[in-house]
Structure 1
Amino acid sequence: MAFLTGRCMCEAVTWTYSGDITRNLVCYCADCQRATSAPLTAFLGMRPEQLSWSGDIRHYESSPDTFRGFCPSCGTRLYFRSDRWPHEIHVHAATMTNPDDYQPDAQVFMPSRVKWLDRLPTIPTHDGFQQRPSGPPAHRTALRSG
Structure 2
Amino acid sequence: MRSMTGGCACGKVRFEASVEPTEAYLCHCRMCQKATGSISIAFVNAQLDEIRWDGEPDWYDSSPIATRPFCATCGASLGFLFRQDADKMDLTVAAFDDPSPFKPKHHFGAESMHRGWINTEGLPEYRTEEYQKLVDKWVTATGEFPG
**Fold match (TM-score > 0.5):** yes
The correspondence of residues 1-146 of structure 1 with structure 2, limited to 5 A, is: 1-18=1-18, 23-83=23-83, 86-118=86-118, 120-128=120-128
Superposed CA deviations along residues 28-64 of structure 1, whole A, max 9, x for unmatched, are 1111111111111110110001100011411111111
After TM superposition, the structure 1 stretch with the greater mean CA deviation from structure 2, 48-57 or 11-20, is 11-20
TM-score, normalised to structure 2, is 0.79
Per-residue deviation, 1:131: 7.4
Secondary structure (helix, strand or coil) at the match of 1:3 reads: strand
Distance 1:127 1:63 in 2: 37
- Note closer, same or farther for the CA distance 1:65–1:120 as it changes in structure 2 (3 Å cut): same
Contact 1:22–1:47 under 8 Å retained in 2: no
TM-score, normalised to structure 1, is 0.80
Distance 1:65 1:37 in 2: 20
Which structure 2 residue ranges, 5 or more long, are not aligned? Answer: 134-147
- Note closer, same or farther for the CA distance 1:41–1:118 as it changes in structure 2 (3 Å cut): closer
Per-residue deviation, 1:19: 5.7
Alpha-carbon RMSD across the aligned residues, in angstroms, is 2.3
Distance 1:82 1:7 in 2: 20
Secondary structure (helix, strand or coil) at the match of 1:31 reads: helix
Per-residue deviation, 1:107: 1.0
Q: Between the two proteins, what is the percent identity of the paired residues?
A: 27
The alignment covers a number of residue pairs equal to 132
Secondary structure (helix, strand or coil) at the match of 2:87 reads: coil
Which structure 1 residue ranges, 5 or more long, are not aligned? Answer: 133-146
Runs of 4+ residues deviating >4 angstroms: 19-23, 129-132
Which one-letter code corresponds to 2:108 in the other structure?
V
Distance 1:118 1:105 in 2: 14
Contact 1:9–1:76 under 8 Å retained in 2: yes
Superposed CA deviations along residues 46-93 of structure 1, whole A, max 9, x for unmatched, are 000110001141111111131011101101001100036611110000
Query: Which structure is larger by alpha-carbon Rg, 1 or 2?
Result: 1
